[in-house]
Amino acid sequence: MNESGTTTGKVKASSNLYTALLALACGAVAGTAGFVAYKCWFIYGTLLKIVENVR
């Protein structure tokens, strides 16, 4: 910022393409984490317990 409170330079996103890609990536990560939590809950009955003596 300069003394008048405005920014100098031309830093500006040309479109919302990167925002959309970031939203899709975050959605994929959240969906995967939710699916893993769901499967762990119904297979092991818990989310955070370390399974012991699986043979």
Question: Percent of the chain beyond pLDDT 90?
Answer: 31
Which amino acid appears at position 42 of this protein?
F
Q: What's the CA gap between 21 and 29, in Å, rounded?
A: 12
Question: Is the CB of residue 47 less than 8 Å from the CB of residue 37?
Answer: yes
Which of 55 and 15 is assigned the larger pLDDT? 15
Q: Hey, where are the domains in the chain?
A: 1-55
Which amino acid appears at position 5 of this protein?
G
The overall pTM is greater than 0.75: no
Tens digits of per-residue pLDDT, 18-42?
A: 889 999 999 999 999 999 999 988 8
